[in-house]
Amino acid sequence: MERGDLQRLTKEELIELVLKIQRPEKTSRTSSKPPSTDRKAQRERSKPGGAKPGHEGHSRAMAENFDRVVDHRPGQCSCCGTVLASDLAAALVSEHEAIELPDIKPMVERHRRLAVTCPSCGMVNAAPVPDAARGTPFGPRLHAVATYLKTFQALSYERLQSAFADLFGLTISQGGLMNMLRRAQGAFVPERDSAIAALRRARVVASDETGVRIEGSNSYQWVFRCDEAVVHQAATTRGAIVVKTLMDGHRPEVWCSDRYSAQQGHGNAHQTCLAHLARDVAYAEEAGEDALPSRVRLWLKRAFALADDIGTLAASTIAAKRKALEKSLEAILATSTGCDFARTIQNKFRRARDQLLTFALHPGLVEPTNNGCERSLRPAVIQRKVTNGYRAMWAAKGEADIRTVVDTARLRPGANTFKTILQTVTA
């Protein structure tokens, strides 16, 4: 802004401009911005790395299964020099491991179709066309490896091509890799449909979305979670039509999300993510000059404490604590303030007041935050930063199906991402 522009501003506009300049920048602690955007502290002020004082060290756990054992026996006595025979009894002193990867190379099986002449009639008989001659020459494990590296390690086609050549000595064109991924994605459709079916009968559903580029246009990656399934959806819109289409008329008891309008009205009750509001409160407390945001922060602290202990409390105790929180919030919302930041916080909590403590009405079923959905979306955000989106809609939808199957499997203990992919592709 030039000097002439400033001279034309009114006194009130100048005051507002100065106040805006003095406002602190939003960080990951005071907004939904990722931690990677925060300014790093100066080196002399930063905390030293490594273990903190008093930290108990841990060593690598020994493998339960091993391929071979190598015993190391002493050859002679260190005292008198007597040769120690190999058949003398020995006691185990310690165990150590050496771990190495074997040389990995593709196993190529060549199928030859032969013809034999009948010695009786002279008829030439050719063997039937083998299954290996139909379709792709690449096996299911190759499909699984390509799917894992492309989807969960965010490799581009060029880097994926290099990985196969450098690690496995296998030359595959980028077009061949694309066809391989497209074939593999079709195997995930049945399990995806099962996850959607589980979502459509769930009592509690949480959802969130993030932006992504698909075919050069702004699009969105959606995620929906319940106790039995995690469903990812790629869509060109951020509108409520995505939710309505996926849920197909099912209306759960509780819907959990942020305050975005398209996420509202899909359940009989709603739980607003308190973590989102806590970040807004932190910014208002840092930027404003009123004590009201601090009161709201303490109120949120009490609400989070109730959520943490709710599994151990009696129903009467939960009801009493919820009533006390409602009464305290009513007093906070009724407090007059001249601070714009504090007033904004009041308005946000006033609009969401019926959605703040829904978790207390459903102990053990409803979380006070939507952190589960945010964790499920994080890999998609990383993928977006690394690859800048998808060149085709089929790739975005196919990857959403893969993440649906893998994330749903992860709800069960002991799930392994690559094993889940391999089992799905070979089914």
State the Cα angle at 316 between 310 and 322, rounded to 5°.
Answer: 60
**Rounded to whole angstroms, how far apart are CA atoms 188 and 206?**
23
- Find, among 351, 364, 299, the residue nearest to 329 by Cα: 299
Q: Do the bridges between strand 230-235 and strand 115-117 make them parallel or antiparallel, or are there none, so unpaired? A: unpaired
**Rounded to whole angstroms, how far apart are CA atoms 30 and 63?**
43
> What is the pTM assigned to this prediction?
0.82
Number of residues written out for the chain:
427
pLDDT of residue 286: 87
Full pLDDT tens readout for the chain, 427 residues: 567 666 666 777 666 666 666 566 777 666 666 666 666 655 455 666 667 777 777 788 888 889 999 999 999 999 999 999 989 999 999 999 999 988 888 999 999 999 999 999 999 999 999 988 888 899 999 999 999 999 999 999 999 999 999 999 999 999 999 999 999 999 999 999 999 999 999 999 999 999 999 999 999 999 999 999 999 999 999 999 999 999 999 999 999 999 999 999 999 999 999 999 999 999 988 888 888 999 999 999 999 999 999 999 999 999 999 999 999 999 999 999 888 889 999 999 999 999 999 999 999 999 999 999 999 999 888 888 888 889 999 999 999 999 999 999 999 999 999 999 999 999 8
**Rounded to whole angstroms, how far apart are CA atoms 396 and 405?**
15
pLDDT of residue 418: 96
**Rounded to whole angstroms, how far apart are CA atoms 299 and 5?**
44
**Rounded to whole angstroms, how far apart are CA atoms 55 and 52?**
6
* 86-95 contacts, C-beta under 8 A, 24 or more apart: 95/62
pLDDT of residue 131: 87
Residues 6+ apart with CB under 8 A from 142: 106, 170, 180
> Bridge-partner residues for 373, per DSSP?
none
Q: Do the bridges between strand 204-214 and strand 124-126 make them parallel or antiparallel, or are there none, so unpaired? A: unpaired
DSSP string covering 254-299, please?
EEEE-S-GGGSSSSSEEEE-HHHHHHHHHHHHHH---SHHHHHHHH
pLDDT of residue 338: 87
pLDDT of residue 34: 65
CB 150 within 8 A of CB 181: yes
**Rounded to whole angstroms, how far apart are CA atoms 219 and 393?**
10
CB 302 within 8 A of CB 323: no
pLDDT of residue 40: 61
CB 403 within 8 A of CB 422: no
> Bridge-partner residues for 221, per DSSP?
210, 234
Per-residue CA distances from 329 to 290, 299, 367, 394 (Å): 17, 7, 20, 48
